[in-house]
Structure 1
Amino acid sequence: MTISKWTVDTAHSSIDFSVKHMMVSKVKGAFQQFNASVEADPTDLTTANIDFNIDVASIDTRNSDRDNHLRSADFFDVENYPTMTFKSTNITKTDDDEYKVTGDVTLHGVTRSETFSVTFEGLAKDPMSGAEKVGFSATGKLKRSDYGLTWNAALETGGVLVGDEIKVAIEIEAAKEA
C-alpha cells in the first residue's frame, strides 16, 4: 500500500482518559471535539505523519461542575490554552500490528515527548459509502505535573484528591481521502 491522506471519522472515534480520585477510585472522561491530519500507509505506520488537535473545553466527565472546574485556571485554563496537540516524531514497529508512536504533546503551554502504544485494527470498505476505512487503538499515560497541572487537595486520611497519572485510550476510525 502507499501513503495516503486519511480523514478521522469523529462519530466512530474517541479520546478517553481516566485518573485516580481520592486514591480509591477512577474518574473517566472524554474530549468530545478533536480533529486529526493523518498521512500514512495503514499497513506500515513507520513512515506516517500524525497530527491531533483537541479542543480542551470539550472535556466531558459526565459532571458539569467538575467539567467547569477542569476548564478553569486551576487545571486546563482553556481561556489561555484552548487546545492540546500531538505531532508524531518517530514511529517504530514492535510486532505484526503493534507500534510505538512517539510525538510532541503540547498541553497547558508545555511541550513534551510522549510515547503511545498503537494497534492497527484493520482495513475495510464501508458498505454504505464505499469508502476505504481503517482503525487504530492507542493507549498511553501522561503525568499532569509534567504539564504544570498541579492543582490538588490533601486528604485527611493521607494522599491527594486527584492522581498525577492520566491514562489515555484512543480509538480511531478514518476514511481514505479520494
Structure 2
Amino acid sequence: MKKYAIDYSHSTIGFSVRHMMVSRIHGTFESYSAEITAADIVEMQDAAVTIIIAVASVSTKNLDRDVHLVSPDFFDADVYPKIVFTSTYIEKLDDRKFAIHGDLTIKNVTKPIVFTAVYTGNGINPWTQEVYAFQAKTKINRRDFNLLYNTALETGGVLISEDIDVVVDLELNPL
C-alpha cells in the first residue's frame, strides 16, 4: 500500500446551503488533514481514506457568519473541534467513478454517508512530482448531526435549508 499526501494549494473541502430559499451560501474549511493509502490509487477499490477537518477553520467570507457557525448554535467548535470522515469501503461504479462509503462524525454524531467520487486524471507537475486528482460529492442533512439552528421567514420557508452539499476536490501526491 502506498501513502498519499494532499497538495493543499490545489485542494478544497467545500460546502453550500440554500439561504432564504432563494440563493446559496458557499463555504470552505481551510484546515484539514488526511490519511490516504491505496495499492492502486487510480482503481481506488482497496483505498483507505480518513479526513480530519478543524471546525474552527470554516470560512464563508463573512466573519460574523463564520463566528456564528463555530458557536454553540451550530458546530460548537470549542466542544466539538473536529469533523471526521473515515471510509469503510469503496465500490467502483465505472472506469473513473466510485462510491466511497464511510462514516461521518460531526458533534459526536456518526452517520454513514456515501461520496460519489470521480478520478479526474493524473500528471507530472512542474517539480516532476506525480499528481492524482479526484472530486467527491455528497449531500447530508444537517439535522442528522444536531446542526439545528434556523429561523422561520415571514414570507414562508426558513433561513437555512436542511440539506448541505459537500464537494471535496483533492490533488494527491504519492509519498
Q: TM-score range by the shorter chain?
A: over 0.9
Q: Matches of 2:84 and 2:70 in 1, distance apart? A: 16
Superposition pairs for residues 7-22 of structure 1, below 5 Å? 7-22=5-20
Q: Percent identity of the aligned residues?
A: 41
Q: Secondary structure at the match of 2:131?
A: strand
Structure 2 equivalent of residue 64 of structure 1: 63
Matched-pair contact (CA < 8 Å) for 1:10–1:35: no
Task: Report SS of the residue matched to 2:5.
Answer: strand
User: Contact between 1:144 and 1:165, CA under 8 Å: does it hold in 2?
Assistant: yes
The alpha-carbon deviation at position 127 of structure 1 amounts to: 2.5
* Aligned partner of 2:4 among 3, 6, 11: 6
Unaligned runs of at least 5 residues, structure 2? none
How far apart in 1 are the matches of 2:76 and 2:112?
21
Assess if the C-alpha contact under 8 Å between 1:42 and 1:120 holds in 2.
no
Q: What is residue 148 of structure 1 aligned with on the other side? A: 146
2:106 matched to which residue of 1? 107
1:118-161 deviations in whole A, cap 9, x for unaligned? 01111212232x22211101111111000011111111111111
List structure 1 runs of 4+ shifted beyond 3 angstroms.
Answer: none
**Aligned residue number for residue 133 of structure 1:** 131
Corresponding position of 1:83: 82
Query: How many pairs are equivalent?
Result: 174
In structure 2, what residue type is equivalent to 1:159?
Answer: G
Match of 2:31 in 1: 33
Contact 1:72 1:78 in 2 (8 A): yes
* Worse overlay, 35-44 or 75-84: 35-44
| One-letter identity of the residue aligned with 1:115 | V
Distance 1:153 1:126 in 2: 47
Distance 1:77 1:5 in 2: 32
Task: Provide the rounded CA distance (Å) in 1 between the counterparts of 2:99 and 2:164.
Answer: 18
**CA separation in 2, counterparts of 1:63 and 1:11?**
22
- The Cα offsets for residues 5-52 of structure 1, whole Å up to 9 and x where unpaired, read as 100111110011100111111101100111111001112111100000
RMSD, aligned α-carbons: 0.8
Equivalent residue number for residue 98 of structure 1? 97
With normalisation by structure 1, the TM-score equals 0.96
